[in-house]
């Protein structure tokens, strides 16, 4: 099939993104737990898998993107343990607020979604980039998406840029010393470990990019 220009992300794409995220997190459950073991509670993989499975079960029918994302947020807040539940819940909840009733999203609306999601996580976690958290993947991704979209690029290209920025940000957490969460109690011993939250954030953003790319084929 011929590739088509992606100028909007539709409700079916968002639904597919949530479904793909659930699958990817299930597939990487052991990996995320392995990353979490030396610097956390060894439960990040299980928590994210459980949270997204619950999100799928509660996902509402219809094409209201805001309602879908809000439902995901509520499931994550109620089912994901530790700090990840409130933080990922806030990410989806704050990002969803301007999207109520939307059945498709333009590049500008997606950029706003990412910006609002990052701002929400920063506020909720009282954190910023370079503190060895999920923000080290999310914030560069949001910036990369907006910069690419501002060039007039196809949404697929902007999402690819966001996923790549998230990957680089994830890997950049390895030499960092943690300043938030349980990992911060380890001090210098947290250096040399990839942050599990940044890793799950990258997996979720990569899933979004992959779903939209496949829809364009």
Question: Would you list the domain boundaries of the chain?
Answer: 9-215
Tokens of residue 215, six digits: 């829809």
CA–CA dist 77, 66 (Å, integer):
17
% pLDDT > 90, the chain: 82
What is the CATH code for 9-215? Answer: 1.25.40.340
State the pLDDT confidence band at 1, using cuts at 50, 70 and 90.
very low
CA–CA dist 185, 129 (Å, integer):
18
CA–CA dist 139, 117 (Å, integer):
9
DSSP secondary structure code for residue 41 in this structure: -
CA–CA dist 25, 14 (Å, integer):
16
E-strand spans in the chain?
9-10, 104-105
CA–CA dist 174, 14 (Å, integer):
31
pLDDT digits (tens, 9 = 90+) for 93-152: 999 999 999 999 999 999 999 999 999 999 998 999 999 999 999 999 999 999 999 998
pTM > 0.85: yes or no: yes
pLDDT at 185 over 70: no
**Which residues are CB-neighbours of 143 under 8 A, at least 6 positions away?**
165
pLDDT at 184 over 80: no
pLDDT digits (tens, 9 = 90+) for 37-69: 988 888 999 999 999 999 999 999 999 999 999
| pLDDT average, residue stretch 78-85 | 84
**123 half-sphere exposure, CB direction, 13 A CA radius:** 11
DSSP secondary structure code for residue 170 in this structure: H
Q: Residue 104 burial (CB < 10 Å; 0-12/13-18/19+)? A: middle
């Amino acid at each position: 099939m011929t590739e088509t220009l992606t100028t909007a992300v539709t409700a079916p794409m968002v639904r597919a993104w949530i479904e793909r995220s659930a699958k990817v997190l299930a597939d990487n459950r052991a990996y995320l737990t392995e990353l979490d073991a030396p610097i956390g509670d060894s439960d990040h993989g299980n928590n994210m898998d459980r949270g997204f499975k619950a999100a799928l079960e509660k996902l509402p029918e219809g094409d209201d993107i805001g309602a879908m994302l809000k439902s995901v947020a509520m499931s994550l807040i109620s089912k994901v343990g530790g700090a990840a539940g409130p933080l990922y819940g806030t990410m989806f909840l704050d990002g969803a607020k301007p999207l109520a009733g939307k059945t498709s999203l333009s590049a500008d609306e997606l950029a706003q979604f990412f910006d609002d999601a990052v701002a929400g996580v920063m506020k909720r976690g009282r954190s910023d980039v370079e503190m060895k958290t999920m923000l080290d993947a999310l914030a560069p991704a949001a910036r990369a998406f907006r910069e690419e979209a501002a060039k007039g690029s196809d949404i697929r290209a902007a999402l690819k840029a966001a996923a790549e920025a998230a990957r680089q940000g994830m890997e950049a957490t390895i030499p960092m010393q943690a300043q938030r969460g349980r990992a911060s109690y380890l001090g210098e011993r947290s250096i040399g470990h990839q942050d599990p939250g940044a890793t799950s954030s990258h997996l979720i953003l990569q899933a979004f990019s992959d779903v939209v790319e496949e829809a364009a084929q």
